[in-house]
A and B are shown apart, each in its own frame.
Chain A
Amino acid sequence: MYLNNLNPSVKALTILGLVVALALLFDPVTPALFTLCTIAVTFLFGDFRRKYYLFYLIPFTIFAIGMLWTTIAFADAPKNPAETIGLIWWEVPREDVLVALSLSFRVLAFATMSLLFIFTTNMVEFLLSLMQQLRLPPKLAYGIMAGYRFLPMLTTEFRQIRAAHRVRGMGRESRWKRYRRFAVPLLAGAIRKAERTAVAMESKGFTGTRERTFYRNIRVRKKDWLFPAGMGAIFLLLILLSLRFDYFSWYQGQL
């Protein structure tokens, strides 16, 4: 599928660019429409387990709704308190609702864009691309890769430690002390393993210099530019629409 084969650096930079551009705007409609477009693009051009996508999107939506409510509840005094909207049984200033909606949809737009990236990108290819296209030092890239590999190992370790502590009869102490008792064996084990991994990498001739060849060469092809062009076009179209229907506004450290 197109999104999965897209050059990861191009994909990441496009998304980052769009996020910055979206952050400059402040109205409820543009991010809402953009969210829908992003989801559509993800589903049309991405190959992934559809069920998991929803599984991830739901908490994001809850988060956005939570944000909506807190922003309204703790809002600054509005400029036009007279204009209100009835939210079921609660009268709130119109202005506050608009601000809250803008913030919440922006969060959703960011979230769907990051999901687009996460669901269609292979972590290893991303790091390889960062090295090959964006000149990330290999020492850092492979160091991160080695660290990332620890993730599943750490989960098992964590469970082991929890069970082991239960046998020792933990639980009489304050929460902070318990955290510390957990953290020390977990981190100590991880650090020792990290050191061993580094030694193993060096013994395979890894020096961290840029002089190396690659088993997988990640390139930027012509069709990769379709993604920034297409997403940029959607974004501009939405801005034109917002200008046309007059709800466009810049973000001014709201409000």
Chain B
Amino acid sequence: MKNWKLKEIVVMSVLSVVFAVVYLAFLPVGKVLTGFFGPIGYDLIFGIWFIVSIIAAYIIRKPGAAFLSETIAATVEVLLGNAAGPMLLISGMIQGLGAESAFAMTGYRRYNLGTLMFSGMMAAVFSFVWGYFQSGYAALAGGYVLLMFVTRLVSGVILAGVAGKALSDALAKTGVLSGFALGKEKRKKHAA
């Protein structure tokens, strides 16, 4: 925590609070989709639930951003009354670890589209493995489980990786990120 600036922590925490609300708002969407397609309904939009990791890490670029933001978001979700309760906290931490692992593998140096997509994918992998044991996917048919897994991977890559980057870049254009790693990078590019 030493090399984090206070403003980075507050911004990360605000992002987590915003997305905790977004996450909650997408639960009923997931429920409707589940009604249509079965458990795979959630996997279609699962990437949404990784997005804060990617945005926070992409903007702040410090080790721990992906993990902490997702954990805080999960905590806020629980405090606001998510049905999964304390289990959600653990799921959040595991998703965060997944996203974080991708940035760790690149040595926290590369923050291009590829890395962000990879990060969304890793979050999907971690969360699926956890879900397999925790929510009893094993009770479902094998082919169906595989389909769920692939769906979640794609969702993580697109909804978290690609959409997360697009949203952060749109934010950077407003100039409010000038004091953060992403804003500084844009400025350097602009000057060059």
Interface residue ranges, A against B (CB under 8 Å): 15-16, 19, 23, 56, 59-60, 63, 66, 70-71, 73-77, 96, 99, 103, 107, 110-111, 113-115, 117-118, 123, 137, 139-140, 143-144, 146-148, 150-151, 154, 176, 180, 183-184, 186-188, 190-195, 197-199, 201-202, 206, 208, 253-255
CB-CB under 8 A from B5, the residues of chain A are 198
| Interface flag for B105 (CB, 8 Å) | no
Q: Known contacts A188-B174, A206-B6: does B13 contact A113 (CB below 8 Å)?
A: no
A-facing mask of B147-167, CB < 8 A → 1, else 0? Answer: 000000000000000010011
Closest residue on chain A to residue B81 by CB atoms: A56
Given A107-B83, A111-B84, A114-B86, 8 extra CB contacts under 8 A = A74-B38, A110-B87, A139-B1, A147-B10, A147-B12, A184-B174, A195-B10, A206-B6
User: Could you tell me if B136 and A71 are in contact, using CB atoms closer than 8 angstroms?
Assistant: yes
| Interface flag for B179 (CB, 8 Å) | yes
User: Could you tell me if B132 and A253 are in contact, using CB atoms closer than 8 angstroms?
Assistant: yes
CB-CB under 8 A from B141, the residues of chain A are 74-77
User: Could you tell me if B13 and A143 are in contact, using CB atoms closer than 8 angstroms?
Assistant: yes
Within 8 A of A (CB), among B3-45: 4-7, 9-18, 21, 31, 34, 38-39
CB-CB under 8 A from A111, the residues of chain B are 83-85
Q: How far is the CA of A148 from the CA of B38 in the complex (A)?
A: 35
The main secondary structure of chain A at its interface with chain B is helix
| Interface flag for B176 (CB, 8 Å) | yes
Chain B interface: which size bin?
Answer: 35 or more
User: Could you tell me if A184 and B7 are in contact, using CB atoms closer than 8 angstroms?
Assistant: no
User: Could you tell me if B10 and A70 are in contact, using CB atoms closer than 8 angstroms?
Assistant: no
User: Could you tell me if A66 and B132 are in contact, using CB atoms closer than 8 angstroms?
Assistant: no
User: Could you tell me if A184 and B171 are in contact, using CB atoms closer than 8 angstroms?
Assistant: yes
| Interface flag for B146 (CB, 8 Å) | no
The main secondary structure of chain B at its interface with chain A is helix
Closest residue on chain A to residue B72 by CB atoms: A144
| Interface flag for B142 (CB, 8 Å) | yes
Contact among A16, A60, A123, A190 with B18 in the assembled complex (CB-CB below 8 Å): A190
User: Could you tell me if A70 and B39 are in contact, using CB atoms closer than 8 angstroms?
Assistant: yes
How close is A20's CB to chain B, nearest CB, in angstroms?
8
A-B contact pairs, 29 of them (CB 8 A): A19-B87, A60-B83, A66-B31, A76-B140, A76-B141, A111-B85, A113-B86, A114-B86, A139-B4, A143-B10, A143-B13, A144-B72, A146-B14, A147-B16, A154-B21, A180-B170, A183-B170, A184-B174, A187-B167, A188-B171, A191-B171, A193-B14, A194-B10, A195-B176, A198-B5, A198-B11, A202-B6, A253-B136, A255-B139
Closest residue on chain B to residue A151 by CB atoms: B17
Most chain A CB inside 10 Å of its own CB: which residue of B4, B14, B89, B177: B14
Closest residue on chain A to residue B142 by CB atoms: A76
Q: How far is the CA of A2 from the CA of B131 in the complex (A)?
A: 35
